[in-house]
């Protein structure tokens, strides 16, 4: 059978891995695809000594890949949203199938790209965009296709997880670990996307679109970063039997869909609580199968290439074999659930960890407790430490029972205005992940 012809755009980390894995496993990949996979053109502004391009022709203008009549699948590995969207839309307009690792592109421009792909009858595949090498898109879209998904929760940013792991295991500060993550090349030079949860929000919205059959709604994801977490919060959480993880959570609630990324206390015995370092993991809770867990490398040259090439193989099978079902990602068009409402964060229900720094005076604790009680929030556990010598301020750690976010926000506002409360109150949501 004729080889399927690929145009590869970008010559960075993931492209290098893709070239290496394709070359190393060429025979297996061809056998599984049912035909050879041949890269016929590369689009790159400059050469990269880490990428062995052999005698493949290189275009400095990447649009030449999108218009090359020989190219059947355009693999976009340049990142960013503007030029990447232009490139991908040009490829689609020229009848190319698309494989991309670009979560920002899919999360922010996916609806437009999918509509163009549907009109052109081509596939857009993006397994590598979520959790790197973990085949989570395929698992949710195919392996769990018979289920109704109740919720999913994941550690989907390796840098954030590395920081929280180091804070817990070595008692290091957020700033200190972040500097090391940058030096090790885990975090971007501008780490905002990682630590503020934007990268995780990109991935969450993609997962939710597949799990719940809904359009991509990146702007509606509630996003909170890990920058405010202090080592003492990590320690108090441990004392209470919990661990702090930066989770992306998508949940079907009676009133709509929750989409949120924030630091979260989870019970120490949960598998997710024990996912450490740069590793990623996603738990999916479904009606028929119950909970399943997917764990592995969320980034890296070859792990990500593994997902890119899996998509290429899938499309190759499709192109040379069954011509139907080319656009499975568009399943939401045929479902009533396309109109799902996304819940505002104020409408979610959760337990909360609060760290309130108070002046060591009689009556302060009862004032705090009565504000919570007035808001209908009951206390599950409380820790109050004795003040250090020469210090007048003590931390009070409170674990609440389940409450409405709006009630908690109102109570925190009232607590914050007490004269005896010093500094900002730290509030972290708790998820037991058990139903
Ligand atoms: N690295 C990972 O572990 C990982 C994991 C999952 C997903 N991803 C995603 O995979 C994609 C690629 O990531 P990467 O880590 O391989 O990036 P990278 O190492 O920075 O490589 C990007 C490549 O694209 C080129 N490029 C960027 N903007 C371009 C433009 N406007 N025009 C032409 N060429 C352009 C760069 O060229 P120059 O060298 O000339 O700048 C470079 O060759 C991103 O969407 C990323 O989010 C990466």
pLDDT at residue 339 greater than cutoff 70: no
- CATH number for 319: 3.40.50.720
Please state the domain count of the chain.
Answer: 3
Tracing tokens 């437009």 back to the chain, one arrives at 112
- CATH number for 259: 3.30.360.10
Q: How does pLDDT run across 12-51, given as a tens digit for each residue?
A: 999 999 999 999 999 999 999 999 999 999 999 999 999 9
Residues 401 and 255 in one domain: no
Residues 309 and 293 in one domain: no
Please state, for a pLDDT cut of 70, what percent of the chain lies above it: 96
Residues 141 and 267 in one domain: yes
The residue nearest atom 15 of ligand 1, judged by CA position, is 13
Helix (H, G, I), strand (E, B) or coil at 422: coil
Domain range for residue 250? Answer: 136-297
- pLDDT category at 412 given cuts 50, 70, 90 is very high
pLDDT at 326: 46
Residues 33 and 122 in one domain: yes
- pLDDT category at 190 given cuts 50, 70, 90 is confident
- Specify whether the CB–CB gap between 172 and 229 falls below 8 A: no
Q: Ligand 1 mean position to 27 CA, how many Å?
A: 27
Q: How does pLDDT run across 141-188, given as a tens digit for each residue?
A: 999 999 999 999 999 999 999 999 999 999 999 999 999 998 888 877
**What is the reported pTM?**
0.92
Pocket of ligand 1 from Cβ distances under 6 Å: 10-15, 44-46, 62, 77-80, 83, 101-103, 128, 132, 299-300, 304
Helix (H, G, I), strand (E, B) or coil at 404: strand
Residues 287 and 384 in one domain: no
pLDDT at 323: 54
Let me know if residue 284 belongs to a domain. Answer: yes
Let me know if residue 38 belongs to a domain. Answer: yes
Q: How does pLDDT run across 341-392, given as a tens digit for each residue?
A: 999 999 999 999 999 999 999 999 999 999 999 999 999 999 998 888 888 9
- CATH number for 390: 3.30.70.260
Segment 105-124 shows an average pLDDT of: 97
pLDDT at residue 1 greater than cutoff 80: no
Residues 181 and 223 in one domain: yes
> 47-56: long-range contacts (C-beta < 8 A, 24 or more apart)?
47/11, 48/11, 48/12, 48/15, 48/16, 50/16, 51/11, 51/15, 51/16, 51/19, 52/19, 52/20, 52/23, 53/11, 53/19
């Amino acid at each position: 059978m004729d080889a399927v012809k690929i145009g590869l755009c970008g010559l960075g980390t993931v492209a290098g891995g893709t070239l290496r894995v394709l070359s190393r496993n060429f025979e297996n990949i061809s056998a599984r695809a049912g035909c050879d996979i041949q890269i016929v053109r590369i689009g790159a502004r400059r050469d990269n000594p880490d990428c062995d391009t052999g005698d493949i022709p290189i275009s400095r203008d990447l649009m030449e890949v999108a218009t090359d009549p020989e190219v059947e699948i355009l693999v976009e590995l340049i990142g960013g949203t503007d030029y990447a969207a232009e490139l991908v839309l040009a490829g689609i307009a020229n009848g190319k199938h698309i494989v991309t690792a670009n979560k920002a592109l899919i999360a922010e421009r996916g609806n437009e790209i999918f509509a163009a792909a549907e009109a052109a009858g081509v596939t857009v595949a993006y397994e590598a965009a979520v959790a790197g090498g973990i085949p989570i898109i395929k698992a949710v879209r195919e392996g769990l296709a018979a289920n109704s998904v109740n919720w999913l929760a994941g550690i989907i940013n390796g840098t954030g997880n590395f920081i929280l792991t180091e804070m817990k295991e070595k008692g290091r500060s957020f700033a200190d670990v972040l500097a090391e993550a940058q030096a090790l090349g885990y975090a971007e030079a501008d780490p905002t996307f990682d630590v503020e949860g934007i990268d995780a929000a990109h991935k969450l919205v993609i997962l939710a679109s597949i799990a719940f059959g809904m359009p991509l709604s990146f702007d509606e994801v509630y996003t909170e970063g890990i920058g405010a977490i202090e080592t003492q919060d990590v320690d108090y959480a441990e004392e209470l039997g919990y661990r702090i993880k930066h989770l992306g959570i998508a949940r079907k609630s009676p009133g709509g869909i929750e989409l949120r990324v924030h630091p979260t206390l989870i019970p120490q015995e949960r598998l997710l609580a024990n996912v450490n370092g740069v590793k990623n993991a996603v738990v999916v809770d479904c009606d028929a199968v119950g909970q399943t867990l997917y764990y592995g490398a969320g980034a890296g040259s070859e792990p990500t290439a593994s997902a890119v090439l899996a998509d290429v193989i899938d499309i190759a099978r499709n192109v040379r074999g069954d011509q139907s079902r080319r656009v499975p990602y568009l399943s939401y068009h045929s479902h009533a659930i396309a109109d799902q409402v996304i819940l505002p964060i104020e409408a979610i229900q959760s337990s909360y960890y609060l760290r309130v720094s108070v002046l060591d005076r009689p009556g302060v604790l009862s004032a705090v407790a009565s504000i919570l009680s007035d808001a209908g929030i009951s206390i599950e556990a409380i820790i109050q430490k004795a003040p250090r010598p020469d210090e007048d301020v003590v931390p009070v750690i409170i674990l609440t029972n389940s409450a409405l976010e709006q009630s908690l926000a109102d109570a925190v506002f009232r607590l914050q205005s007490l004269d005896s409360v010093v500094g900002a109150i730290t509030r972290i949501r708790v998820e037991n992940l058990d139903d």
